[in-house]
Amino acid sequence: MTRALLLAALLVAAPAWAQAPTVEKVEPPDWWASHSINPVRLLVRGRQLAGARLECGRLACGTPTVNAAGTYLFVDVTVPRDAAPGSYPLTLRTAAGQASVPFAIAPPLAAAGRFGGFGPDDVLYLLMPDRFANGDRANDEPVVSRGLLDRAEPRRWHGGDLAGVRQRLPYLKSLGITTIWMNPIYDNTNVLDTKEVYDGKPTTAYHGYHAIDYYAVDERFGDRAELRRLVDAAHAQGIKVVLDMVANHTSAYHPWVQDPPTPTWYNGTAQRHLANTWQTWTLADPYATPEMRRATLDGWFIDILPDLNQNDPEVARYVVQNTLWWVGTSGIDGIRQDTWPYVPRSFWRDWMGAIKREHPMLSVVGEVLDGDPTMIAFFEGGRVKFDGIDDGVDALFDFPLFYPIRNVFAKGSSIREVAQMLSRDRLYRDPQSLVTLLGLHDVGRFMGEPGATHAGLRLAYTFLLTARGTPLLYYGDELGMAGGNDPDNRRDFPGGFAGDARDAFTAAGRTPDEQATWTHVQSLLRLRAARPELRRARPEHLHVGEQTFVYRRGRSLIALNNDATRPAELRVPAMELPAAAIGGCAAPRRDGGEIVITVPARTGCVF
């Protein structure tokens, strides 16, 4: 019997009630020839997929597997190395009918000027797209999620988007930023979230951390083409781009929650799961049992965000491919990975290995929000830990230094706290790889701290931008933007939205204090760019007092006085110094084998 006659016989033999298959979504929608992952595993979502087989035309397909509900199909597709870019639809057939499976081979992006990574030579700038600038008002109220925009409500959408970020790149360039990090831009929850309620009000996913589609840009931010335009425009101005990614959890409204592709796709179900206990210290405890660690690794955030199970090989494969798809389709330079401790380290090892095989220079910074330097050292990549794993991550945030910075320069505590924390750099494989910061979206603003002033903020920046590590600025902190804890720390950037009373993207729209702080940051960034030692040289601590700190990096000397009322006269070993480039200190005078530096109150000088 010929193939055509056999198919006809099967169709005739199909029960009258059988329905033809339907295909709703294919992930990934496209891939590349000559990629380090080949074959690529497709996840096809649809209906009536049981018993399906695939005809793949010019591509080669493996044997598909379908879940018990007949709603998800997995299949490996091998892409010939010489396959030309274009559409390569597959045909899915069952006894009841057939459906087309759209798939394409994408043209690869040229590596030159892309996938470049970041490090101590860079300055990162974290911005929340929804709160930075609205560049395209047409996407403020998309059809699928109308009624969610309200700038008067801090947990609603406000209208910022990728076009707004692209249009403000000249502002970031003039400040001296070399790398922007954006919160996740995945397609997020399209409804008011009645599962997450604060002060009696449901929330929206304006922040980007509640994904419902890992292969789409949220319609309020733009689309895939707009992301490419932003990345290309940034690269044209010498600015790198880092995307935030979330491998730990999904939105409670993701289609998988009610219909998972595999029985073990999540750790638990909406009806029965562990709540996260946040005890990340157990992961670094050599005496903790697997049961002790389970709630931290498998628990659902705030008891509602479904926890992905990276021990399921299909989940692991999905996340790895999704990561590489975003990188390959956008040309970004780095990744900030959310909630690093809450995912098995064995998965991170494999995930990092897959990234480096395809993009060796791309950088990853992991979020370990912990003030204990031993915890940061445990998760730091480059060394095998007691569990036999090196997770391979390039960088982590320096939260152990963040807390002393806040205590000292905002609250007026002894500056010894900063020097003492730096002495714990002996615990790290590479202190230079750490990302240092004054603030970000998960903590209150610097200027929201008790006792914080613009003078203290400027002094904090003098330290941050001359200390070791890769510094991070949080949008608006270059102005001294106010704000308490979430969501008050996520206010709109003044001037980024129609109808704003002022435009702080321009000097004319800033207050005198804001302008002084902005100019101070710009001057420090220019000096940092001009002096390689402020980015690379090993620090030498020359003096630490109750409120004074002097250190040297190469030929540059930094003197800090955190006393709010009195100047400080500081003595250090004699050396040749240029005139102060930052801070307004008088020229040092020699006194025997020492030089004497007078630093005004609440001031830092860079010589």
- Contact between 398 and 369 under an 8 Å Cβ cutoff? The reply is no
Q: Find, among 88, 96, 78, the residue nearest to 10 by Cα.
A: 96
The residue among 502, 536, 570 that closes a domain is 536
Whether residue 241 is found in the same domain as residue 332: yes
Clarify whether residues 489 and 602 are in a common domain: no
Evaluate whether residue 116 is within a structural domain: no
Low pLDDT (below 70) residues in the chain: 1-17
In a domain, 336, yes or no: yes
Tell me, yes or no, whether 302 and 182 share the same domain.
Answer: yes
21 with 74, same domain: the answer is yes
DSSP E strands, 79-188: 86-87, 90-94, 97-101, 104-105, 124-127, 179-182, 186-188
Contacts of 268 (CB under 8 A, 6+ apart): 274, 298, 300, 307
Cα atoms found within 13 Å of the Cα of residue 137, Cβ hemisphere only: 4
Specify the pLDDT at position 16.
Answer: 45
How many whole angstroms separate alpha carbon 516 and alpha carbon 335?
Answer: 32
> Domain range spanning residue 506?
124-536
Do 588 and 444 lie in one domain? The reply is: no
Residue at a domain's end among 75, 105, 135: 105
Whether residues 96 and 240 fall in one domain: no
509 shares its domain with 531: yes
Domain-ending residue, one of 78, 105, 132: 105
Establish if 205 belongs to a structural domain: yes
Q: What is the CATH number of the domain that holds 67?
A: 2.60.40.10
pLDDT value of residue 9 = 45
Q: Are residues 547 and 507 in the same domain?
A: no
The DSSP annotation for 193-236 comes to EEEEEETTEEE--TTS-SEEEEEEE-TTT--HHHHHHHHHHHHH
Q: Are residues 128 and 82 in the same domain?
A: no
Amino acid residing at 583: G
Cα 185 from chain centroid (whole Å): 10
Q: Amino acid identity of 74?
A: F
Whether residue 555 sits in one domain with residue 518: no
Cα angle, residue 98 at apex, residues 93 and 100 outer, rounded to 5°: 100
> What are the pLDDT digits (tens) for 352-385?
999 999 999 999 999 999 999 999 999 999 999 9
Domain count, the chain: 3
Contact 93, 53 (CB under 8 A): yes
Question: Are 52 and 130 part of one and the same domain?
Answer: no
Amino acid 578: pLDDT: 83
Neighbours of 418 (CB within 10 A): 23
- Looking at the structure, do residues 554 and 410 belong to the same domain, yes or no? no
Residue 461: give its domain's CATH number.
Answer: 3.20.20.80
Q: Is the peptide bond before 313 cis (omega within 30 degrees of 0)?
A: no
Q: Which of 462, 466, 452 is nearest to 529 (CA)?
A: 466
pLDDT at residue 17, rounded to an integer: 58
In a domain, 75, yes or no: yes
Is residue 113 included in any domain, yes or no? no
Residue 117 within a domain: no
What pLDDT is recorded for position 29? 98
